Amino acid sequence: MATIKKTLSTKTDGQGYSQILIRVSIDKDKKLRLKSGIFIPQKRWDNTKERISYGKATGTERIEMSEKETRLKNFEAKVLKLCEISPKDILTKEWIESVLSVCDNIEVSQLSIPVINELLDKSQNPEKYENRSFFDHIIDFRDNAKKKVNGKREGDKSDVWKKNFNVLVRALRRYEMFVRLSDKERRNFTLDIDTISSETLSDIESYLRNEYSLLEEYPKIFEKIPASTDSRRSPKPQPRGNNTICALFNKLKAFFNWMNEKNITTNNPFKGYEGVVSEKYGTPYYITLEERNTIADFDLSAHPQMEIQRDIFIFQCCIGCRVSDLLKLTQSNVINGAIEYIPLKTKGERQNVVRVPLNTRASTLMKKYKGVDSKGRLFPFIAAQNYNDSIKEIFRLCGITRAVTVINSITGKEEQRPINEVASSHMARRTFVGNLYKKVKDPSLISSMSGHAEGSKAFNRYREIDDEVKKATVSLID
């Protein structure tokens, strides 16, 4: 661990001020001398305590010395942080001084090698950073942002997160072009990190909510707006619900927070913005173990392709993984009677291995399809959307059609729907979590097998679902 010794230079300037000097001992063999750039009167230095002494100073001088003491503490903290995070071979007097010269506005807690390298690059190659567009910055965020864990930025964002983030980027590109084409007074409109205001956010929110109807109102304008940045045009915009808008705005807000942290801009239009309200989710609905077994044991021999998809769905109900993970499972994921995998959704953020022991039903299904898939996967999977369509039809064929209360994703209002119409691969995950939670009220144990993050809002909703426990509890006061 590096240590610092502070002394006051014997040389004085024209005002009788001397510079505070720093000697850094990195180890026995490496010691560096640095100039702090902080000058004080000789009488204001306590050599024994190695600090500025201004107990008897008054007025302007006291304020000046107090400010310089703060600067000195910050200087010392940054030097120690650099010694802590940097490889020993780059710790030279010249390198430390060059870093300190470009990080005046950076908090000690924000210092990291990537941040330092970017600051140095900006100072040495300013032309690279001039006239960067809003989309240059937002793509930079997408590719380089880190997951925040326990207040620290660590771990790359997952590919799934980046894919979802691209939805926001494409929507903002369309918004920018729509403004140019629809408003004669703003033909040169561009999104700018320094000028986007809360009013701009309101306009973006309105666009996102109404893009599908704007397409019908201004068809000629949308003919000129590319649906995406690649040659393949995306499907026409669909109505977006409040939760979708919230998810997009949360990503945009994270982008501005990142820009503020990196001191690229001081502008943050989300401060005081009261537009998008919080996401609204209903109580999770899922099938009971009895319904699951009805589906598992139903004779689907007349529908051989449906039988395969039914078996995959039941297997997913037994291990509770997301469909993105399910589609990638092979025999290599089967270890000592359990399925082991790192969830794709959080792979770049957390490397936690999820391990789910295989019950008898899951093991039987796995053996049934061993060696069947040409790609070596556990099951002969089809496309995720076709899998979801099959699940709905399987529920109907098996007579699992009871009504459930769901939240309409567009209107945000509750409505009753037959469960077969809203069934999907994600219901298998909910079935796994919900039925386990009924049996064992241990969130930590269950989330270790479902791959939910600690404190997950999605997981916490399962605490609301157990009517049987609620009835039993209320009966205690009969």
- 150 or 345, which is more confident: 345
Residue 292 CB neighbours (<10 A): 21
> Which band of pLDDT confidence, cut at 50, 70 and 90, is reported for residue 454?
low
3-class state of residue 444 by DSSP: helix
Note the pLDDT of residue 466.
55
Interatomic CA distance for residues 267 and 274, integer angstroms:
17
Residues linked to residue 405 through DSSP beta bridges, in sequence order: 416
Mean pLDDT of 198-209: 91
Interatomic CA distance for residues 335 and 357, integer angstroms:
9
For the stretch 91-139, pLDDT in tens is 999 999 999 888 877 788 878 888 888 788 878 877 766 678 899 999 9
For the stretch 333-368, pLDDT in tens is 999 999 999 887 665 555 578 899 999 999 999 999
Which of 212-226, 302-316, 317-331 is predicted least confidently?
A: 212-226
Note the pLDDT of residue 463.
56
276 Cβ neighbours under 8 A, 6+ residues apart: 205, 242, 245, 246, 249
How is residue 103 written in tokens?
């990080």
Q: What's the count of helices (H) and strands (E) in the chain, helices before strands?
A: 18, 12
pTM of the model: 0.55
Interatomic CA distance for residues 375 and 241, integer angstroms:
38
Sign of the Cα torsion 106, 110, 112, 114 reads negative
Mean pLDDT of 244-263: 91
Note the pLDDT of residue 294.
96
Q: List domains and CATH numbers for the chain.
A: 3-127 (no CATH), 131-280 (no CATH), 289-477 (1.10.443.10)
Mean pLDDT of 39-44: 90
For the stretch 280-297, pLDDT in tens is 666 788 999 999 999 999
- CB-CB contact of 286 with 461 (8 Å): no
Written as one string, the DSSP assignment of 307-369 is: HHHHHHHHHHHHH---HHHHTT-BGGGEETTEEEE--GGGTTT--PPEEEE--HHHHHHHHHT
Q: Does residue 450 register a pLDDT over 90?
A: no
Q: What percent of the chain has a predicted confidence (pLDDT) above 70?
A: 86
160 Cβ neighbours under 8 A, 6+ residues apart: 324, 344, 345
Note the pLDDT of residue 476.
60
For the stretch 388-440, pLDDT in tens is 999 999 999 999 999 998 887 777 788 899 999 999 999 999 898 888 887 77
Mean pLDDT of 29-47: 90
Note the pLDDT of residue 232.
44
For the stretch 160-180, pLDDT in tens is 788 889 999 999 999 998 998
Note the pLDDT of residue 405.
86
Note the pLDDT of residue 437.
80
Interatomic CA distance for residues 358 and 336, integer angstroms:
9
Q: Does residue 328 register a pLDDT over 50?
A: yes
End-to-end CA distance of the chain: 67
Cα separation values, 324 from 60, 89, 343, 362, 447, Å: 65, 44, 8, 18, 17
